[in-house]
Structure 1
Amino acid sequence: MDIRLSNFTLAVHDLDEALGFYGAVLGFETRDDVDAKGVRRVCVSPPSQPDMRIILEPAGAHPGATPADGQAIADLMTKGLLGRLAFLTDDCDATFERIEAAGAEVMQEPVNQRSGIRDCAFSDPSGNLVHFIQAPTGASG
């Protein structure tokens, strides 16, 4: 059985601001930009993974969400307690330098973990934590 991630949804405060981060800073490509029933959703993905899509949508955009739910989600996002993404990179330090130079908020500078990986982390404009992981030399993914 072959199971692979196809897409997932990430709540953001401001779609255009999120697109600036995921598009201009990370270099992701916009796959879809749609308005469904008054709610705009934008799908982005890394150029190397066009079939894996990150769906950016406003906090509380789920049809069953109440305004109170939307506010609770927005509050948790502001605290950095909701969205967490992890991407593999072949050079953690170069990735860090490029993203930091673009002005992204640094959450963790590159560090070697006990597991052998090297990683760093940033916060996107909505408070979602975005990790970049470099596998140990000689490891395969």
Structure 2
Amino acid sequence: MITNVSLVSVWVQDLDESLAFYTDVLGFTPQDDITLGEDFRWVTVTHPSQPELSLHLTTPSKPLSDELIAAMQRAQRDGGLPGVGLQVDDCRRTVEELRAKGVEFLQEAQERPYGVEALMRDNSGNWMVLVEPREFTPEDFEGSGIG
């Protein structure tokens, strides 16, 4: 029986640069960095407050087809791949802290029925959402244009 989610893959362009971004900028902790064979490296990070969930930083490579690798690399260059959602305790403060570290924001912190949300990119162009959650009901979405 499935008990939990323990690993989520994030497609990145460069493992070393992404490892530095996720640890130095976002505050994750390096976990695994293992070379497996000539052309595959297993790199994971965890967040100190959620060590049971690892982010697997990986580049588009074999065993994916050459066509899929090329398509994913194009999507990365265009900034069109989704990343992960990150819960924050103060979205506006977090935006300012990350902006000071050079993070690109696509959407400023905005009030939503479910909390305060901002949209950023990691250093590989992945969209990442920051959410300062609050309790909500389905009625909170009526007339919001969301949902």
TM range (shorter): 0.7 to 0.9
1:4-56 Cα distance to aligned partner (Å, 9 max, x none):
22101111111111112111000100110011122112101111011100000
Instruction: Tell me the percent identity.
Output: 31
CA separation in 2, counterparts of 1:68 and 1:86?
A: 28
CA separation in 1, counterparts of 2:34 and 2:11?
A: 15
CA separation in 2, counterparts of 1:36 and 1:132?
A: 33
Name the Cα RMSD after superposition.
1.8
Helix, strand or coil at the partner of 2:51:
coil
For 1:1-141, list aligned pairs within 5 A: 3-37=3-37, 38-59=39-60, 61-63=61-63, 65-113=64-112, 115-136=113-134, 139=135
CA separation in 1, counterparts of 2:7 and 2:97?
A: 26
The answer as to whether partners of 1:77 and 1:83 remain within 8 angstroms in 2 is: no
Letter in 2 for 1:73: M
The answer as to whether partners of 1:29 and 1:44 remain within 8 angstroms in 2 is: yes
Letter in 1 for 2:127: L
Structure 1 unpaired stretches of 5+: none
Structure 1 residue 129: deviation in Å?
Answer: 0.8
TM-score by length of 2: 0.84
Structure 2 unpaired stretches of 5+: 137-147
The 1:39/1:2 distance shift into structure 2, 3 A limit, reads closer
Letter in 1 for 2:73: A
Q: Would you identify which runs of 4 or more consecutive aligned residues in structure 1 move more than 6 Å? A: none
